[in-house]
Chains A and B, each alone.
Chain A
Amino acid sequence: MSGFLTRVNRRCITIAAPAGSHYLTRVRLSTVASFAIERFQVLDEKGDIVAPLPQFATVPDELAAMYRAMVLTRTFDAKAVAMQRTGKLGTFASALGQEAVGVGLAAAMRPEDVLVPSYREQAAQFMRGMTMAHCLLYWGGDERGSDFQAEPARHDFPNCVPIGTQVPHAVGVAYAMKLRKQKSAVVNVFGDGGTSKGDFYEGANFAGVWKLPLVMVVNNNQWAISLPRSRQTAAETIAQKALAVGFEGRQVDGNDVIAVRQVVEEALEKARGGGGPTLVEAVCYRLCDHTTADDATRYRDAESVNAAWKVEPVARLRDYLAKHGHWNKDKEEALQHECAGEVAKAVAAYEATPPGPPEHMFDHLYAKVPKALEEQRALAIRLGKKNSHG
């Protein structure tokens, strides 16, 4: 067909015929795909209910436990940042402002599910049984920090520092579950920046094709170090990226822990029942620096941070609980005291753990130390003894 395109609308293309001809050709089009993404919220910014409460949220103790988990993480993060500032900890990634994402998704998980996190999911990891001392050991520069042995955390993946590379790992774990016909699912967490990586697109595509029991949670905290969400992708939402690979994408208010838990619970239920993967975009805000090695004032203004503080997740749930008579000043003070005490205990355990011996470099490299490494191992032990004496 010769001619050139003159007009496109939703239903038809008009093509002008070659010069000198009076004919117009009309090609009928049909919509083969369409979508809409809606943001889900239960508690609004003022802590008022805007959607029916899910069953778990009608139990005050459940909400109090989630509130406690958020406060504990916030207390821990503040202490860890302070320790880094005084040289007692290495570089650390706080989850300030993102506590509802970690707590919400972990509260939705069952013990037999597996968490495959990034490096900012301590809120979820604590709920899964990773101790705070392990977290401190990890950021303090000790591999034993990823050797958490408590159930069910011991089946979870450790932190993943390279961005988004944990996505295909989560897909592999979900494949193993499906192959074994297990009634469990994988929760995979990564950031808004991670969704620009090929690992994300490739992994999500595999998960869609294989219809795996996988819930991909995007902690969309608006910032990938210094790059704002608006410059990370031209897509209106991150949730819609799931639609391109054939499964459901949902956006949820990531400052609303009830909404996060509900959406992840629904996604997990679907996954365990063979309904395939879901991507959950949890929209929140990174109130902290990227890590302790970063200074966010270099690239973002105070206004946006101040605005984000007005909608942050911890105060929101507290306001809701207080309005309904489940929380008061005394309870708050007791909780703060209790969390500070727990964190102090973890700090003491971390500080009482001496570095491992030099052979630790060799002993878990392979299942058995290969002959080729015996000489180097012996050297490290010999030099290590010398170093510790002088």
Chain B
Amino acid sequence: MPFAWAKKIPMAEKNLIEAVNMALAHELERDESVVVLGEDVGANGGVFRATAGLQQRFGPDRVIDTPLAETAIAGVAVGMAAAGLKPVAEIQFTGFIYPTFDHMVNHASRLRHRTRGRLTCPMVLRSPCGAGIHAPEHHSESPESLFAHVPGLRMVVASNPLRAYGLLLAAIRDPDPVVFFEPTRLYRLFRQDVDDNGEALTLDTCFVEREGRDVTLVSWGAMMRETLEAAEKLAGQGVSAEVIDVATLKPLDLQTILDSVAKTGRCVIVHEAPRANGFGAEIAANIAEHSLTSLLAPVVRVTGYDTIVPLARLEHQYLPSVGRIVEAARNAVEWS
């Protein structure tokens, strides 16, 4: 598009990283128990600038630069949350999130349950996730299904600026621990009109992004881009695709997916993470258990391979493409 660069962007047009920043600022302003902590989140404003300007505005006691230790970032957040703060901890990349796993699984997820509600853990663990930005090793993984397996946690993945803003507000206000993934590939890819109105979206709800009759495409996070593009292509080929953004993987709003499959009879699940034991398997199993008689074709998964996410030169080969999604949807439609 000629002169697209010259298009004047209204103030409310935000990319995903700006939407995250806006949500954090909104909650820091609204609720003095909210604190932000992590590596380089203060003076530097975060390696992706998610926390840009927040320390200047809210002070170093509430926007806290931590020493370099992910285990303690999560563990300290558990302690803060139990003591009545609402910590929002940042892990710079999901490749560095694994040291937090002990605290998320053994403590954050269990504190309410093991004390019968005496102590609780209202914390958020934010992390950029996914491939597609030519990042170094350990910067491209999508481990959402690891966290989605843990009872007591919420697992949320943002798929666009509007959702990032509304879901992050909801995550911070939620009384339980939330793991919140932000796809790096989307951080600056596109903009949406995001009003800083403080209105949270609902967690535990799938969003129907596009209505359709012939096939249900289910995805979340960065792959929502390719999935929506595939739906557009399919429409051009006379196939009407319904698109669902799962958004909150744990606890899963199964009903929205089952209702859609009851209507279309076909389902393609798209995710960037490896296939085996990926979250698509959970959705497919539930469809098999609850909606077998609605199905007109086998449920299909379009996913990353069961390999290590490759380094930059091959990552485009790894990521599911629009073409693969279109083909899978067409096969499903042509099955019966």
Whole-angstrom distance between the Cβ of A356 and the nearest chain B Cβ: 9
A146 interface contact, C-beta 8 A: yes
* Beta-carbon contacts under 8 Å, A130-158 to B: 143-144, 146-149, 154, 157-158
Q: Which of A4-12, A197-205, A378-386 contacts B (4 or more CB under 8 A)?
A: A197-205
Closest residue on chain A to residue B151 by CB atoms: A365
CA distance A170 to B103 in the complex (A): 13
Count contacts on A: residues with CB < 8 A to the other chain.
40
Give chain A residues whose Cβ lies under 8 Å from the Cβ of B112. Answer: 364-367
> In the complex, are the beta carbons of A170 and B79 less than 8 A apart?
yes
Q: Cβ of A147 and Cβ of B75 under 8 Å apart? A: no
Q: Which residue of chain A is the closest to B79 with respect to CB atoms?
A: A172
Residues of B within 8 A of A173 (CB): 79-80, 82-83
Cβ-neighbour of A171 out of B72, B106, B113, B152 (below 8 A) = B72
* Contact, CB under 8 Å: A176 / B115: no
- B113 surroundings in chain A (CB, below 8 A): 143, 364-365
A373 close to B118 (CB less than 8 A): no
**Does A179 count as interface, using CB distance less than 8 angstroms?**
yes
Asked if residues A158 and B114 are in contact (CB atoms below 8 Å), the reply is yes
Q: Is A32 an interface residue (CB 8 A)?
A: no
Q: Is A169 interfacial (CB 8 A cutoff)?
A: yes
- Contacting B85 at CB < 8 Å: which of A147, A179, A203, A366? A179
In the docked arrangement, what's the CA distance between A157 and B78, Å? 11
Flag B53-96 by CB within 8 Å of A: 1 or 0 each: 00000000110001101011011111111111101000000000
Contact (Cβ within 8 A) B85 A199: no
Q: Provide the bound-state CA to CA distance between A265 and B76, in Å.
A: 24
Whether the Cβ atoms of A154 and B118 lie closer than 8 Å is: yes
Known: A165-B106, A205-B67. A371 touches B75 (CB 8 A): no
Answer whether residue B253 sits at the interface, using C-beta atoms and an 8 A cutoff: yes
Residue of A162, A198, A372 near B253 (CB, 8 A) is A372
**Alpha-carbon separation in the docked complex, A158 to B102 (Å):** 17
Question: A30 CB to closest chain B CB, in angstroms?
Answer: 27
B103 touches A165 (CB 8 A): yes
Provide the A115-142 mask, 1 if CB < 8 A to any CB of B, else 0.
0100000000000000000000000000
User: Which of A175, A199, A203, A373 touches B80 (beta carbons < 8 Å)?
Assistant: A175
| Any A CB within 8 A of the CB of B298 | no
A367 to B72, CA, bound (A): 25
| Cα–Cα distance between A209 and B79 once the two chains are bound (Å) | 17
* Residue of A with least CB distance to B122: A367
B interface residues, tally (CB under 8 Å) = 47
- Give min CB distance, A125 to chain B, whole Å: 13
- In Å, the complex CA distance between A198 and B119 comes to 25
Shortest CB–CB separation between residue B207 and chain A, in angstroms? 16
Check A172–B83 contact: CB distance below 8 A: yes
Contact A175 B76 (CB under 8 A): yes
* Residues of A contacting B118 in the complex (Cβ-Cβ under 8 angstroms): 146-149, 154
Q: How far is the CA of A377 from the CA of B120 in the complex (A)?
A: 21
Q: Given the complex, which residues of B lie within 8 Å of A209, measured CB to CB?
A: 67
Known: A205-B72, A371-B253. A168 touches B114 (CB 8 A): no
B255 at the interface (CB under 8 A from A): yes
Does A325 lie at the interface of the complex (its beta carbon under 8 Å from any beta carbon of B)? Answer: no
Do A372 and B252 form a contact, CB below 8 Å, given A149-B118, A172-B82? Answer: yes
Flag if A168 contacts B78 (CB, 8 Å): yes
**Min CB distance, B116 to chain A, in Å?**
4
CB pair B251 A167 closer than 8 Å: no
Q: Which residue in chain A gives the minimum CB-CB distance to B204? A: A370
Say yes or no: A146-B152 contact (C-beta < 8 A), given A176-B83, A199-B72, A206-B66. Answer: no
B49 within 8 A of A: no
10 A-B pairs (CB sep. < 8 Å): A143-B113, A143-B116, A162-B102, A162-B106, A165-B106, A172-B87, A203-B75, A205-B69, A364-B113, A370-B251
**List of 10 A-B pairs having minimum Cβ-Cβ separation, nearest first:** A172-B79, A168-B75, A202-B72, A372-B251, A176-B83, A169-B79, A370-B251, A147-B116, A172-B80, A202-B69
Which chain A residues have a beta carbon within 8 Å of chain B's beta carbons? 114, 116, 143-144, 146-149, 154, 157-158, 162, 165, 167-177, 179, 198-199, 202-203, 205-206, 209, 364-367, 370-373
Please give 10 more A-B residue pairs, beta carbons under 8 A apart, in addition to A147-B116, A206-B72.
Answer: A114-B83, A162-B102, A165-B106, A172-B80, A176-B85, A179-B61, A206-B67, A364-B112, A372-B253, A373-B251
Question: Which positions in B face A, CB cutoff 8 Å?
Answer: 35, 61-62, 66-67, 69, 71-72, 74-85, 87, 99, 102-103, 106-107, 112-120, 151-152, 154, 174-176, 204, 251-255
